[in-house]
Structure 1
Amino acid sequence: MNVASKILGEHIVAGEPEPGKEIKIKIDQTLTQDATGTMAYLEFEAIGISRVKTELSVSYVDHNTLQTDFKNPDDHIYLQSVAARYGLYFSRPGNGICHQIHLERFARPGKTLLGSDSHTPTAGGIGSLAIGAGGLNVAAAMAGEPFALKYPKIVGVKLSGKLPPWVSAKDIILELLRRVDVKGGVGKIFEYFGPGVKTLSIPERATITNMGTETGATTSIFPSDEITREFLKAQGREEQWIELKADSEEDYDEIIEINLDELEPMAALPHSPGNVKPVSEIEGMEVQQVAIGSCTNSSLRDMKIVAQILKDKTVAPNLSLLINPGSRQVVTHLVETGEFKYLVDAGARVLENACGPCIGMGGAPPSGSVSVRTYNRNFEGRSGTKDAKVLLVSPETAAVTAIKGVLTDP
């Protein structure tokens, strides 16, 4: 059996494990964010349950953090009161992006996670079977109801080799998107395996499972190995580690092979995450904005890389550089190591630990401009500027571009 089928098998409460057949699974954890959470909790209250019945549920505030009137702060007060009343954890505004924090503090190998946000599969980087769903689905899960889905095909993504310098996990998922496009994962789980897996840290794995959402996949997942154990140990959660790995290559419905040695910096061009080309083929275009962060690339690993690239450099005069770190933990580490100063001294605008410009919550680019971002989506108008052209790249490519002033292959 593979990792995904093992977790599904342990959580199925109804149905048969055959691709395309409906099953129902027990949900161990839930998460919400404030843009979808308010309705989810109103629905949960209407069910009439006195306390949540999951092992763990978390209400995060990371989306609507621009408080230009009373509506958002009023919502946040409601969310905090619901958490206190029904037994959830509450993450206040400024703590960070839900997926980054959940990876740091709560996600566990072998557990199921249902979130009212499409990028919930981020937790797959730690070996959790994490699925994005609607608010009512999450409300029902908090009330102890199973989650219904069609049993997916399990596609093994075999990673071999090691990433060259200046190439990162973002380039791996962009390469997968180049091959399968934005609907190639529908009805499937992408499970990563092979010798290349051990060369990737947990934040790098989470970058891949996060943006796997853009393929239309049910979710994406990595095995839980010694790298996972070391991450959990660093977070003070080593006792939550379990080993999870596939028994055999033969256990997958399909296999896609990616040789990390052969990858180069990639970019998704407007207006689709699946419109991917090597940066080397398109470099040189003038850029008016660079944005680094989001739930895809806001980890400590990514921020340290960016800080080191920007050290003793200055942002090009023709563009603006926005940075939104993923969590308070990330910022605290950057401050303690002195690397936060590199960002400030370079001329970056360091924003709140929140989703921010990724969802058009501030940081809109100028009219008709090119914005190079480390985010996961570049749909027309999503940035807040209808005629802006948004490219999706790695933190390495974004940081070097911010210094050079034009799209640059690092």
Structure 2
Amino acid sequence: MSNPFAWIAEPLNPNQPAKKFFNLNKLGDARYGRLPFSIRVLLEAAVRNCDEFLVKKEDVENILDWNVMQSKNVEVPFNPARVILQDLTGVPAVVDFAAMRDAVKKLGGDPEKINPICPADLVIDHSIQVDFNRRSDSLQKNQELEFERNKERFEFLKWGSQAFHNMKIIPPGSGIVHQVNLEYLARVVFDQNGYYYPDSLVGTDSHTTMIDGLGVLGWGVGGIEAEAVMLGQPISMVLPKVIGYKLMGNPHPLVTSTDIVLTVTKHLRQVGVVGKFVEFFGPGVAQLSIADRATIANMCPEYGATAAFFPVDEVSIRYLIQTGRDEEKIKHIKNYLVAVGMFRDFNNSAQDPDFTQVVELDLHTVVPCCSGPKRPQDKVAVSEMKKDFETCLGAKQGFKGFNVAPERHGDRVKFVHNGSDFELTHGSVVIAAITSCTNTSNPSVMLGAGLLAKKAVDAGLTVKPYIKTSLSPGSGVVTYYLRESGVMPYLAQLGFEVVGYGCMTCIGNSGPLPEAVAEAITQGDLIAVGVLSGNRNFEGRIHPNTRANYLASPPLVIAYAIAGTIRIDFEIEPLGVNAEGKEIFLKDLWPTRDEIQAVEQQYVIPGMFKEVYQKIETVNESWNALDAPSDTLYTWNPKSTYIKSPPFFENLTLELQPPKSIVDAYVLLNLGDSVTTDHISPAGNIARNSPAARYLTSRSLTPREFNSYGSRRGNDAVMVRGTFANIRLSNKFINKQAPQTIHFPSGETLDVFDAAERYKQAGHPLIVLTGKEYGSGSSRDWAAKGPFLLVSDSVINGSGEVRTTLHCSLLLDACEYPVPKLPLEGEELECYYQSLRDQMKGEFRLLPMLLDTGKTFHAIMRFDTDVELTYFRNGGILNYMIRKMAS
């Protein structure tokens, strides 16, 4: 059907009549001028894609009437302009596409219909690990190991780039997905098929929101949702509430963008923004560079919002010029955004739209800070770090506690490293990593770290040789300006050699610690520390031996590396003592904002962006040399431990199957609050005593060849064994942190996978019981697929919500709502009976639950939209798409 809003499409430039845009101002509706700028993007997409089928005029009216409809849980469709993937989530997406082609062919359809319709970019950036550091050839050695370990995965991805149309793959060694997106892939305004329209996207990484800092609306979704978008399906979403975050004032000269983002993260966690958009406004925004805004937007998942939007303004345009974008395109970008009413002047309060709620922050009140020791929202002022850590040592086990007895707070363990004597204690820094796109995309903090390193070296300070230091830039541009500005040699002298381009330590690819260090930590049961400039510090994520991990700005990462401990008060204690016996304080080394800006203006120039990105798709010779098949259907290798055809579609039929009741089910796990995707599906180290390790060993692999869970997401046999395999998992059935549970019929304590298998062999369905905020963290598809394969039945959270077998759709994971606590404790959790109604109508579905003790209660199954219910009845989004394509 033709678009009913075609009448508002007009040329942007009268001299180019073929280039049109949908002029929303011609709707003649005063409500448009009051909409938040982020909602205007949703409205434009609905108007442009309105076909009275997938997108209806009613949807347009609902978005236009946002001020009223935001509180009514109304469903609206959204067609993003593109999709972005990284390789840890991209590999399983391509695996699913390959398996879907097989399924469509099996059902009698054309497999080539399974093909991206919406443009997709995949950046390979999560495979490289810090195996080598503190040596000039670290980058080369780590990249060689990356290809050695991941050759199968890379060949498969190269097949995908040839077999599927409309998919671009950026080779390894190019940079972190979000920084490459910011500096190179972002269009800001699309010019396609004769129309100009806003750039927008969804990505298979929760930190996709980083691009919001450039005025491109985007957020992270599960891999399955991203696949549906790639296949041309709109995202069905509840019209979001929008929190207006007003920034005022100027930051203190010693404050970094990292300090601002950690302050914003804690503040918005307190406000409560889960499932909402946050839109920044106010004169303070004009004081922030695009890199600063991107740093704030990157941490959006840590404060729980869906998106963290900074509308395009003059600073955005200057950034496009600085990063070497085409001048003619930049001119069209500004002209379009001005014409459609999406160009922002943050100093003009008359442009301020309506918001659901407004909260404020005076940037001048921000102080230098870190965040930890276990969660990114737990901000700690740098001046309080020593006291806070020592309080955490003795506090009861929890997000801010390690339960170390007072008499053990001074424990020390001696060890020998490279022939020299050292000692560790609680709070000793053993990992110091400048890593992740949160900060490495920001020249101010990267150059600040370089200038601090120079001053530290000049003052005679060093970093202890056993500390695992690393620098993993977000793109080649960072290396370029660090080298050209002359600070790279000083970073290297302190141990911060470039070790690779990718998400390394932040994702858990920190590599091994020196053996003597790991042994000393284990021997003394020490609370060792990792300090990183990343965005995530959940338990067990960074390294198995670092139980405390703090997020910090790149300059502070270097400062704590030099100090060697987190138990230091920089105000009154020296950072170190040089060879002449002089005490050197941090304040003696910290570069001023003027110093940093002078270097940035001189060395961060358009030419370097053009030079780096014009060869980004061909610069990696190892990638160029890969030989990959070009067949329509992928030929699965039964011997592969990386790529395996998943079992999701094995018994799929064209006819819908009715839902089944769950009877005589046991509880596999009883979990508390804040069980993150890292607890559910870890991405890092594969422990040598784990079910996944036993599986890989049975396939004749040695521990050296295990690689990581993240790298093996294309193999469901590994990933199901890695489900709930985090060593810091807290299961109430046992009295310790471990990836284990009780098998109730026998009373044995087993690994979670082994217990699940034993239950299944006996024919017992399984349930997982969780607390609040289950599934927070990265939007990781295996955090849904894993429980689906492991449990096969339901996940019930502490508020009484049931996540069904269709938990694998990822659509039900984000729901938060007040319903009664489950009246369950202790061993009466052992067994449930659940009756699942065949007919489901209305928003809430009450499911009667009967315990073996005779007690009954009702849990709630909730679907926010009709589309979710459709996916549920089909067995998930992908099953729905297969049936659609096959018929």
After TM superposition, the score normalised by the length of structure 2 is 0.44
Deviation for aligned residue 1:369: 1.0
Deviation for aligned residue 1:392: 1.1
- Paired residues, what number? 409
Equivalent residues of 1:159, 1:260 under 8 A apart: yes
Residue in structure 1 matched with residue 127 of structure 2 by the alignment: 64
Alignment of 1:237-276 (within 5 A): 237=325, 238=327, 239-240=329-330, 241-242=333-334, 243=337, 244-245=343-344, 248-276=351-379
Deviation for aligned residue 1:363: 4.1
Residue in structure 2 matched with residue 8 of structure 1 by the alignment: 42
Counterpart Cα distance in 2 of 1:68 and 1:159: 42
Alignment of 1:190-209 (within 5 A): 190-209=278-297
Equivalent residues of 2:90, 2:204 under 8 A apart: yes
Deviation for aligned residue 1:329: 2.0
Equivalent residues of 1:183, 1:215 under 8 A apart: no
Deviation for aligned residue 1:82: 1.5
Equivalent residues of 2:436, 2:502 under 8 A apart: yes
Residue in structure 2 matched with residue 360 of structure 1 by the alignment: 508
Equivalent residues of 1:65, 1:72 under 8 A apart: no
Pick from 162, 176, 200 the counterpart of residue 97 of structure 1: 176
Counterpart Cα distance in 1 of 2:324 and 2:546: 46
Counterpart Cα distance in 2 of 1:159 and 1:30: 30
- From the superposition, tell whether residues 42 and 392 of structure 1 become closer, same or farther in structure 2 (CA, over 3 Å): same
- From the superposition, tell whether residues 8 and 305 of structure 1 become closer, same or farther in structure 2 (CA, over 3 Å): same
Deviation for aligned residue 1:42: 2.9
Write the deviation string for residues 141-193 of structure 1: whole angstroms up to 9, x where unpaired.
12222112222111111111111122122222211222233892212111111
Deviation for aligned residue 1:65: 2.5
Matched letter for residue 61 of structure 1: I
1:81 lines up with 2:162 in the alignment: no
Equivalent residues of 2:93, 2:224 under 8 A apart: yes
1:180 lines up with 2:280 in the alignment: no
Equivalent residues of 2:82, 2:202 under 8 A apart: yes
Residue in structure 2 matched with residue 343 of structure 1 by the alignment: 491
Matched letter for residue 454 of structure 2: K
Matched letter for residue 63 of structure 1: H
1:52 lines up with 2:116 in the alignment: yes
Residue in structure 1 matched with residue 441 of structure 2 by the alignment: 299
Counterpart Cα distance in 2 of 1:307 and 1:63: 25
Counterpart Cα distance in 1 of 2:266 and 2:159: 44
Equivalent residues of 1:182, 1:273 under 8 A apart: no
Matched letter for residue 223 of structure 2: G
Equivalent residues of 2:38, 2:311 under 8 A apart: no
Write the deviation string for residues 321-348 of structure 1: whole angstroms up to 9, x where unpaired.
2211101122123223333222113332
Matched letter for residue 233 of structure 1: I
- From the superposition, tell whether residues 340 and 80 of structure 1 become closer, same or farther in structure 2 (CA, over 3 Å): farther
Residue in structure 1 matched with residue 471 of structure 2 by the alignment: 323
Matched letter for residue 26 of structure 1: N
Counterpart Cα distance in 1 of 2:440 and 2:146: 25
1:31 is paired with a residue whose SS is strand
1:164 is paired with a residue whose SS is coil
1:195 is paired with a residue whose SS is coil
- From the superposition, tell whether residues 137 and 183 of structure 1 become closer, same or farther in structure 2 (CA, over 3 Å): farther
Residue in structure 1 matched with residue 381 of structure 2 by the alignment: 278
Deviation for aligned residue 1:232: 0.7
Matched letter for residue 259 of structure 1: D
2:127 is paired with a residue whose SS is coil
Equivalent residues of 1:32, 1:116 under 8 A apart: yes
- From the superposition, tell whether residues 405 and 32 of structure 1 become closer, same or farther in structure 2 (CA, over 3 Å): same
Equivalent residues of 1:108, 1:127 under 8 A apart: no
Counterpart Cα distance in 2 of 1:327 and 1:253: 37
- From the superposition, tell whether residues 70 and 311 of structure 1 become closer, same or farther in structure 2 (CA, over 3 Å): closer
1:34 lines up with 2:87 in the alignment: yes
Pick from 383, 390, 400 the counterpart of residue 542 of structure 2: 383
Deviates more, 1:254-263 or 1:70-79: 70-79
Counterpart Cα distance in 2 of 1:212 and 1:315: 35
1:288 is paired with a residue whose SS is strand
Residue in structure 1 matched with residue 481 of structure 2 by the alignment: 333
- From the superposition, tell whether residues 9 and 281 of structure 1 become closer, same or farther in structure 2 (CA, over 3 Å): same
Deviation for aligned residue 1:261: 0.9
**Structure 2 gap ranges (5+):** 1-34, 47-54, 64-68, 102-111, 130-144, 189-197, 338-342, 388-426, 522-526, 572-585, 587-887
Counterpart Cα distance in 1 of 2:451 and 2:169: 33
Deviates more, 1:367-376 or 1:317-326: 317-326
Deviation for aligned residue 1:248: 4.1
Deviation for aligned residue 1:395: 2.1
Equivalent residues of 2:251, 2:364 under 8 A apart: yes
Higher Rg = 2
Write the deviation string for residues 41-75 of structure 1: whole angstroms up to 9, x where unpaired.
23334264375322x42111111224579662211
Counterpart Cα distance in 1 of 2:96 and 2:559: 46
Counterpart Cα distance in 2 of 1:72 and 1:146: 33
> How much identity, in percent, do the aligned residues show?
32
Counterpart Cα distance in 2 of 1:208 and 1:99: 13
1:297 is paired with a residue whose SS is helix
Counterpart Cα distance in 2 of 1:348 and 1:394: 14
Write the deviation string for residues 88-135 of structure 1: whole angstroms up to 9, x where unpaired.
221111111100101000123332111111110010010011110111
Equivalent residues of 1:373, 1:391 under 8 A apart: yes
Pick from 562, 583, 586 the counterpart of residue 403 of structure 1: 562
**Structure 1 gap ranges (5+):** none
Counterpart Cα distance in 1 of 2:374 and 2:383: 19
Counterpart Cα distance in 2 of 1:270 and 1:182: 18
Counterpart Cα distance in 2 of 1:153 and 1:230: 30
Equivalent residues of 1:59, 1:88 under 8 A apart: yes
Counterpart Cα distance in 1 of 2:303 and 2:475: 26
Write the deviation string for residues 3-51 of structure 1: whole angstroms up to 9, x where unpaired.
1111111123354333332211111111111111112123334264375
